[in-house]
Amino acid sequence: MIPVADTRRVSFGEMSAADPVIELECRPSLEVQGEHGRFPVGRIWCVGRNYAAHAREMEPDAERQEKPDPPFFFFKPATALVSGGGPVPYPPRTTLLHHEVELVVALRHGGRDIPPEQALELVFGYGVGFDLTRRDVQAEAKHLRRPWSLAKGFDGSAPCSFLVPCSRIGHPRRGRITATIDGELRQDGDLSEQIWAVPQLIAELSNQLELLPGDLLFTGTPAGVGPLLVGDRAVGEVAGVARLTIDVTPPI
Ligand code: MN
């Protein structure tokens, strides 16, 4: 279906393990709305700040004034996935766990150097996720110019809803995205406020590495991020796509 990448695929050595010397405990996957089969998750890519400030968006000519910086990416291990939500233990070594509600894109095809106009052909479907963040750990890492990895990629840091295939809902360009914590609306934005839309994100990331089937992309969060406490129930929703509920439970 996609004419890109396969002929340029680089081999990095033997990838299969027909006779593994250890067994992996799990293969992360997500439920698919309306289907029995599940979506296997290979990698979780995330984009940094991707929603313009509300005030700036209200200015009709803001886009012409200034070119936004290119998107920047980080990632979480697939084992950070919390499939379908539910209980999420408060992570260790933090006192400032933050919620970031995000539209999640799931890729059915891979490729490199994907043009934006072809990028949506890679998409399997969409869901909603929380990019959970140890904000105090991230702040310290920024201050010390160290990697964010453990601020973002800890166990349980990527709760994600079921996926809705794009064959059902198309490719949402607008729609309300909210996070409600114990009944209080904390994040309230719209997908149309994304600085870099999904096709541009896929194109940009595919210029930096080969995208693969099974990749997820968390597409950034609107304003209003804030702390989660033990006992909180957090509901993330993208209107017309999916809803995700997590319950923050005591540390393990
Ligand atoms: Mn985020």
Residue-wise pLDDT tens digits, 101-125? 999 999 999 999 999 999 999 999 9
Beta strands 176-181; 29-31: pairing state: unpaired
What is the rounded distance in angstroms from the CA atom of residue 138 to the CA atom of residue 11? Answer: 34
Q: What is the pLDDT of residue 183?
A: 97
Q: Read off the pLDDT of residues 176-200 as tens digits, 9 standing for 90 and up.
A: 999 999 999 999 999 999 999 999 9
| Sign of the C-alpha dihedral computed for residues 47, 97, 41 and 161 taken in this order | negative
Three-state helix/strand/coil letters over the chain: CCCCCHHHCCCCCCCCCCCCCCCCCCCCEEEECCCCCEEECCEEEEECCCECCHHHHHCCCHHHHCCCCCCCEEEECHHHEEECCEEEECCCCCCCEEECEEEEEEECCCECCCCHHHHHHHEEEEEEEECCEEHHHHHHHHHHCCCCHHHHCCCCCEEECCEEEHHHHCCCCCCEEEEEECCEEEEEEEHHHECCCHHHHHHHHHCCCCECCCEEEECCCCCCCEECCCCCEEEEEECCCEEEEEEEECCC
CA dihedral 145, 200, 209, 242 (to 10 degrees): 90
Q: What is the pLDDT of residue 67?
A: 74
First-to-last C-alpha distance (Å) of the chain: 45
Average pLDDT over residues 62-91: 88
How confident is residue 58, by pLDDT bands cut at 50, 70 and 90? very low
Residue 235 Cα, ligand 1 centroid: separation in angstroms? 16
Residue 247 Cα, ligand 1 centroid: separation in angstroms? 19
Provide, rounded to the nearest whole percent, the portion of the chain with pLDDT above 90.
82
Backbone angles phi, psi at 97, to 5 degrees: -80, 125
Residue 219 Cα, ligand 1 centroid: separation in angstroms? 7
Q: Read off the pLDDT of residues 22-56 as tens digits, 9 standing for 90 and up.
A: 988 888 999 999 999 999 999 999 999 899 753 34
Q: What is the pLDDT of residue 17?
A: 73
How confident is residue 68, by pLDDT bands cut at 50, 70 and 90? confident
Residue 129 Cα, ligand 1 centroid: separation in angstroms? 10
**Angle 15-20-23 (CA atoms, 0-180°, nearest 5)?**
115
Residue 99 Cα, ligand 1 centroid: separation in angstroms? 9
pTM for this model (two decimals): 0.91
pLDDT of 57 higher than 50: no
CB atoms closer than 10 angstroms to residue 157: 26
Q: What is the pLDDT of residue 59?
A: 41
Q: What is the identity of the amino acid at 40?
A: P
Residue 109 Cα, ligand 1 centroid: separation in angstroms? 23
CA dihedral 48, 75, 177, 180 (to 10 degrees): -110
